[in-house]
A and B are shown apart, each in its own frame.
Chain A
Amino acid sequence: MTNPYVPLLVMGLLAFVMGLAGLLSSAVIGPKRYNKIKVDAYECGIQPSPHAASGRFPVKYYIVAMTFIIFDIEVVFLYPWAVAFTELATFGLIAMIAFLLLITVPFVYEWRRGGLDWD
């Protein structure tokens, strides 16, 4: 039996070749029709928002990003808690409820002060 990692290496090489082949073949045989939609910024298929091309963006995106970070951070602590849920018992539950309530406070602030209104 040869080294057990050889199949892995072969698979890696194959994956690399496949990827490269796809790129090369589309460059060689694919049709080349450029138009405005194709060179526009890609925004999940919808019309790109105004100003997106000029390097400026509405502050709305920034507020959404901040809200995202609130919940992003929440998960950092929720996940280890979930893993050790049984050991932490009631103390962990109470601490986590307190944490979640505190996380909700800035969210309530943002909601009441119009941070979530899109227009």
Chain B
Amino acid sequence: MTFVPPSIDWAALAPIVIVLGAAVVGVLIEAFVKDAVRRMVQVILAVVALGAALVTVAWRWTVVQAQGPAELVGGAIVEDTPALMAQGVVLICAFLGMLVIADRVGGEDGFTPVAAGAPGSTYEAQARRLGLVQTEVYPLVLFSVGGMLVFPAASDLLTLFIALEVLSLPLYLLAGLARRRRLLSQEASLKYFLLGAFSSAFFLMGLALLYGYSGSVRFADLAAAVPAMVGMDVVLLAGVVLVLVGLLFKVGAVPFHSWVPDVYQGSPTSITGFMAACTKIAAFAALVRFLYAVVPGLTWDLSPLLWTIAILTMIVGTVLAIVQTDIKRMLAYSSVAHAGFVLLGVIALTSSGISSVMFYLLVYGVATVGAFGLVTLVRERDAEGNVTGEATRVEQWAGLGRRHPVLAVCFTLFLLSFAGIPLTAGFVGKFTVFAAAVEGGAWPLVVIAVLASAAAAFFYVRMIVLMFFTDPDQDAGSTVVRTEGTTAIAVAVCAVATVVLGVVPTPILSLTSEATKFML
């Protein structure tokens, strides 16, 4: 047997290579650039890399429209329209998230000066006084984005596994870097890591079983093996379910959601926004590809499982969001409920299902980055009037609409979009997903989803009432800090996108409906 080197189409890999290459350069910058300018260089590099990757994805989109999809690197990665669409959405949200991450709101960024120093130690205090910054954040985010770009395009289980780890490992660290509330942040990091490693072990076992079943980890070979062999159904089913567990953990579906509220609450808020949006987009895109490419023959066996998970996710997410008193936790549970809504489009297993999922993820991602970006701005004051950590208790937001109307209106917009009120993007997103689910014959799920949306509207509206029609609690003493401008830009873009996608969604909807045109 002779070895034939795979041909590598660098142009098609360009978005991934740009982001991961920038991450490696970022590590070298950490090594060689002086402290004084390092942060500036890192921020510029990260923003430019993400922007360039986004442009490249748009270019590849036109190429694929003209020439059709292709297999890259010996079939490990595919370049087709769903993959490019998902990569584009990830990059949009990562770009906006990066603007929030890079902002030094209130004069300091959201990250600890020394991650290695124990909280409260003299070492940490000294680093804080010297004004050190942990600029490793930027390469870590870029590595994570690189994994997210490979994730929706992977066409074998090994590539999928490696991409899963590349996107997860930096996030475990980023979760532990918050400047304030270090103990919570470290705890979030530990929980995320242990549960994430646990779920990727399940994914790996699923990979091993599927390899044993079919003798290959390629999606195409797996799909070909499904109808051919009837005797090993248990191995196949167990393998598929274990792989699904790994993917459903990443999207935060019940019963694999227990990490979501803790990690979203404990992580630095800018990282939470980035992670909540981008991880979910990448993981759903990979989930869709896995379900469509590998197991169409198993729909009958899997649908009870997927239906149960979707129902549980919608109900548990909504009910627990209602009782939360912390804004970040409330948004976390609401993101769990949103994962349930997206699962509806996934379960539909139709091409309109895929395009509705893509549209919903864009809508959700934009509103999430915007909402968490605003949370970074609202701060507590201590007794001496110094600005301290974020005011995340719900009652601290009372009366914010009177003092800071622009901020409150933007936040209201995102909440309305989450709730799915007409004329916001969330309404169009929910509508397309529900329509796809009805078309796919999942109307009982749609009934539950509509009820859950109605219940969810309750706590979104309660929050809005609190901001605009409640007198501020004087003791709570929350205040809004100044941004350097980048968070303001990100939030403004998110708000405009939320309105535009809600009022004139047709151009983007027709774009997403083309996403299924060329699928490998």
Q: Do chains A and B touch in the complex (CB under 8 A)?
A: yes
- Chain B residues, CB < 8 A from A111: 31
The reply on A106 being an interface residue by CB < 8 A is yes
In the complex formed, the residue of B with least CB distance to A91 is B5
The reply on B41 being an interface residue by CB < 8 A is no
* Contact residues, B1-59 vs A (CB, 8 A): 2-3, 5, 24, 27-28, 30-32
CA distance A50 to B17 in the complex (A): 47
B2-A87 in contact (CB<8A): yes
**B interface, by DSSP: helix, strand, loop or mixed?**
helix
User: B2, B3, B5, B24: which contacts A102 (Cβ < 8 A)?
Assistant: B24
The reply on A33 being an interface residue by CB < 8 A is no
Q: How far is the CB of A115 from chain B (nearest CB, A)?
A: 10
CA distance A89 to B32 in the complex (A): 35
Interface residues on A, range: 10 to 19
A109-B3 in contact (CB<8A): no
1/0 per residue, CB under 8 A from A, across B312-332: the answer is 000000000000000000000
A105-B32 in contact (CB<8A): no
A109-B2 in contact (CB<8A): no
CA distance A108 to B32 in the complex (A): 9
B3-A87 in contact (CB<8A): yes
- Chain B residues, CB < 8 A from A73: none
B27-A105 in contact (CB<8A): yes
CA distance A89 to B31 in the complex (A): 34
A109-B30 in contact (CB<8A): yes
A89-B28 in contact (CB<8A): no
User: A59, A84, A89, A113: which contacts B30 (Cβ < 8 A)?
Assistant: A113
User: B5, B31, B116: which contacts A109 (Cβ < 8 A)?
Assistant: B31
User: A59, A88, A105, A112: which contacts B3 (Cβ < 8 A)?
Assistant: A88
28 A-B residue pairings within 8 Å (CB atoms): A59-B116, A84-B3, A87-B2, A87-B3, A88-B3, A88-B5, A89-B3, A89-B5, A91-B3, A91-B5, A92-B3, A102-B24, A105-B24, A105-B27, A105-B28, A106-B27, A108-B28, A108-B31, A109-B27, A109-B28, A109-B30, A109-B31, A111-B31, A112-B30, A112-B31, A112-B32, A113-B30, A113-B31
Spell out B's residues near A (CB within 8 Å): 2-3, 5, 24, 27-28, 30-32, 116
Spell out A's residues near B (CB within 8 Å): 59, 84, 87-89, 91-92, 102, 105-106, 108-109, 111-113
